[in-house]
A and B are shown apart, each in its own frame.
Chain A
Amino acid sequence: MTRAIFPALKRPSAIPGFGLALGFTLTYLSLIVLIPLAALVLRSAALGPAEFWQLVTSPRTLNALRVSFVCSLIAASINVVFGFVMAWVLVRYRFPGRRFVDAVVDLPFALPTAVAGIALTALYSRNGWIGSLIEPNGIRIAYTQAGIVVALTFIGLPFAVRTVQPVLEDIRRDLEEAAATLGASRAQTFLRVILPALVPAILTGFALALARAIGEYGSVIFIAGGRRDTEFAPLLIITRLEEFNYSAATAIGVAMLVISFIILLTINLIQAWSRRRFGSG
């Protein structure tokens, strides 16, 4: 069967079961991902194109989408930079408590996001430990877009660290030594030898942290604080649902889906390019 359908894909292989494995993969992907998404798209299709477009481009929706995507991009960028530094420290240095720090990195994964949101809000609000220090200086974090970025940074951090860490561990010391014997300075070694080898992993970390941030609801809801200028897309969807306006909710959902898909596809393409460029890494 598969031979007939995929003549170009079917190559003699030492491992049998290509047909079965591909069939399983497609079925599983359909059940878990594609069918629910198709239902979403179908539901919004009931709206008709004009109405759909009007809903998606209404100022409130546009603002929510902008808040969601801009904050997510900022948070993912912050995570890539500081996640890289953390991965570097964890891989390159041996210090007391390293295992402990290594374990703490994963906590944002384990904590229920709502708990994280409440904790962050308590910290950054006017009476909180951090909020009480910075608000007198005119910096507000809680109930602003900056607060959303803080929450999204919190939940995305493990991705940025965990994707770079193993690749960094695999970079052999002799590469740096080779660069040094050839006369490269530390900065040159870092920028020209180490960083290029890490680009694919850094991009993966960025993509994962971004995807996680775009869909995040629980940790953001408290720190965003229900103001119109901090209304982010998932919150707007919930609001529409509570109004029993299912079509509007699905329309925003579809818009998010399309934008996310385009961003992730772009990152994937850049990655494929850099993999080709940088060899197997």
Chain B
Amino acid sequence: MDIRIANVRKEFGVFPALHGVSLDIKSGELIALLGPSGSGKTTLLRLIAGLEQPTEGEIYFGNENASYKSVRERNVGFVFQHYALFKHMTVAENIGFGLRVRPRSTRPSRREISKRASELLDLVQLSGLEKRFPAQLSGGQRQRIALARALAIEPRVLLLDEPFGALDAKVRKELRRWLREIHEKTGHTTVFVTHDQEEALELADRVVVMSQGRIEQIGTADEIYDTPASPFVFSFIGESSVLPVNVESGKVWLDERPLDLPAGGMPNGPARLFMRPHDVEVVEGGPGAIPGVVSLIRRHGGSRRVDLEVGARRDRIEIELPADFNRGTSSRIAVRPRRWRLYPAEA
């Protein structure tokens, strides 16, 4: 089921949660909505589900305008961060709930419902737990049951709100792989919300990066990581350092020192130079490099992280160096970014 979100605005009272967001989701795609808290990602998901009504704009399911349909009519599968299982029902009753509440004319027989519940338990790899109550299950198991329950109604789209947010790191990783497998098996159009970039980049076909009620960038993991569309995306995704610089006559200047970096089409004036720790290399001084004083060295897995104080304001940048880097703190080195991006300074 294709989903099209066209210029959707949402205000809660006078507080704007989404400013005219547009997004096209292709049938069978796995999409991540990624952003810090307050970015509007959950609001967007709830608008798709029909748990909130848009202030302006439209949401299409295929060719059908679903904007004013109720949650019940939209037939979406929704998985909540805190599972939202019905604790007085067994696992099988939970999964069958969506079928049992159907009007008599479309309701499957009891036997079919329990058969369907067992099939879905097989799918989520929890066969044999039909008779258990949610309180008797672990967090990871509960979230799988919640997904099985959402799938039971054969939803047109599957929506997950921070599905792994309440689980510990190890279970999260397992479930991430498992969700990808389920997605490939069932082929549902799936949208999930997360604030965990690793989860978004690893799991999704396309990632929608959001900030302050706007979409900053839509793209594959590679596009988001390698060509961030905005300073926000650059600093939000992965690690980065920022250096205030000046652009003048096509060159980048740090204080009074010209750097060996082409400014591209940047207009003259103050700018920000973004780079990632592992995209910076040490060079033998020379013109165009960034000189600095080592202020902190720490071990970071198989490499070393070095904080460098740079320029007159002693701005700090973080660089990644091989573990055999043997200079001490206070020593002077010069570095040059292999990859970088320039953005205009904040107004």
Contacts and interface: CB of A to CB of B under 8 A. Distances in A.
Q: What's the interface size class on B, roughly?
A: 20 to 34
B113 to A, nearest CB: 13
Contact of B102 (A178, A183, A193): A183
Interface in A177-231: 177-185, 188, 192-193, 196-197
Contacts of B28: none
B84 A182 contact: no
Contact of A175 (B84, B149, B153): B84
A256 B75 CA distance: 56
Interface string A149-180: 00000000000000000000000101101111
Interface in B99-148: 101-102, 133-135, 146
Contacts of A188: 101
A138 interface: no
A278 interface: yes
B102 A181 contact: no
B49 to A, nearest CB: 6
A276 to B, nearest CB: 9
Interface residues of A, number: 22
Contacts of B215: none
B76 interface: yes
A128 interface: no
Contact of A177 (B51, B86, B97, B152): B51
B57 interface: no
B82 A281 contact: no
Contacts of B170: none
B87 A192 contact: no
A11 interface: no
- Give the interface centre of A181, A183, A184 by most chain B CB atoms within 10 Å: A181
Given A178-B80, A192-B101, A279-B133, A183 B153 contact: yes
Nearest to B106: A183
Nearest to A193: B86
Interface in A96-122: none
Nearest to B95: A182
A280 interface: yes
Residue with the highest number of chain B CB atoms closer than 10 Å, among A177, A277, A280:
A177
A86 B75 CA distance: 33
Nearest to B76: A181
A185 B134 CA distance: 23
Q: Closest 8 A-B residue pairs measured CB to CB? A: A182-B98, A278-B88, A178-B84, A174-B84, A279-B135, A181-B78, A184-B101, A279-B87
26 contacts: A174-B84, A175-B84, A175-B86, A177-B71, A177-B84, A178-B78, A178-B84, A178-B85, A179-B86, A179-B97, A180-B71, A181-B78, A183-B72, A183-B75, A183-B101, A183-B153, A184-B101, A185-B101, A188-B101, A192-B86, A192-B101, A193-B86, A196-B88, A197-B87, A277-B88, A278-B87
